[in-house]
Amino acid sequence: MRVESLVLEDFRNYRRAHLEPSPGLNLVVGRNAQGKTNLLEAVYCLSGLGSPRSPDAALLREGAERALLHGRIRRGDRSIELDLELGAGRTRALINKAPAPRPGALAEIAVSVFFGPDELSLVKGSPEGRRRFLDDLVVKLRPARGGLRREWERVLRQRNALLKSIPRKPGAAAAQTLEVWDDALARAGAGLAAARLEALDQLTPLAGRRFRQVAGDGRLELRYTSAWMDQGDGGAAEERDEARLVELLSKAVVTARTRELERGMSLVGPQRDDIVVRLTSSSQGDDLLDARSHASQGEQRTSALALKLGEFDLVTETLREEPILLLDDVFSELDP
């Protein structure tokens, strides 16, 4: 797939821009702060997964009430027109001038893989960024699974609101309502976690191969870590069966009940999970070590690039079509 045309209005620093990329490789050259990254970001936004860098409100040009993105995407012998309107608290999407039929419909058409300077956070940043990366990958591989994350976020939001209200309104009715949301949390959380684990299993060998290609040697492994799962030696989450994951999360919820009521928030579930990137470092020998604390900045960036190229390979393999690859300043800070 490729971008045939891109039109921006009031997006980032662009009042209006029109770009018609050529088939194959396109190189965007310009001065610092001229808006090169913003063009790539706009293409990624057309996937319906949001910006890889910022919340939607930050995408509007200063003083503008909305931003408009129009793209024409080539998929095989078809050209598909996508329109996206971003405003304060509002997003509207059109496909061939008709309203998008369902949430996530854009993700079925414009599939992009983005790598930029901030992607170093995939390795050294907070768990939230790694969870988002994996959740987005789940949707790219199977767009229908976008509903898993939306359902999880809905259940988590409702349950947290209930946990905050119970100290003010104690009683049997509140306890019974909480049990209903406990069950919903276990099922939604297990469904999302199972999808994450499946995607990570597929990604790991491809990212490892890309790491060797970029670094020249060494190994890279990805490990899903979760406090609520039954973990094997070394802390790797071994469980894959969704029914078993429901049991494990249900048990963890019961155990955490007192602490959750005290804190007024859900303390266990996939919103607390993480992906650990481990690699053999040139300065540490052959042992696999946590890249966050034992790798150089260049090795961390190489690891992040390997994750993104592995994502590109996996999406290509799954869809039997190459996604749109967006690379921004890809060679900076890589070890020689």
83 with 166, same domain?
Answer: no
Q: Are residues 258 and 317 in the same domain?
A: yes
Does the pLDDT of residue 231 top 60, yes or no?
no
Does residue 54 sit in the same domain as residue 196?
A: no
For the chain, how many structural domains are there in total?
Answer: 2
Return the pLDDT at 78: 95
Distances, alpha carbon 129 to alpha carbons 52, 153, 285, 311, in Å: 10, 16, 28, 15
Range of lowest pLDDT (4-8, 50-54, 163-167): 50-54
* Structural domain boundaries enclosing 48: 2-110
**Span 223-244, average pLDDT:** 72
Q: Among the three residues 110, 142, 172, which one is the final residue of a domain in this structure?
A: 110
Q: Which of 57, 82, 110 is the last residue of a domain?
A: 110
**Per-residue model confidence (pLDDT) at position 245:** 94
pLDDT of residue 71: 97
Q: Are 166 and 261 part of one and the same domain?
A: yes
Residues 192 and 125 in one domain: yes
Same domain, 104 and 141: no
Give a yes or no: residue 332 inside a domain. no
Same domain, 23 and 147: no
Whether residues 125 and 88 fall in one domain: no
Q: What is the pLDDT of residues 239-253, one digit of tens each?
A: 678 999 999 999 999
Decide if 328 is inside a domain.
Answer: no
Same domain for 129 and 278: yes
| Per-residue pLDDT at 55 exceeds 70 | yes
Identify the CA nearest to 20 among candidates 100, 74, 95. Answer: 74
Mean pLDDT of 139-146: 93
CATH code at position 41: 3.40.50.300
Picking from 110, 140, 166, the residue at the C-terminal end of a domain is 110
Both 136 and 269 in one domain: the answer is: yes
pLDDT per residue as tens digits for the range 145-168? 999 999 999 999 999 999 999 876
Indicate the pTM of the whole model. Answer: 0.90
Domain membership of residue 329 (yes or no) is no
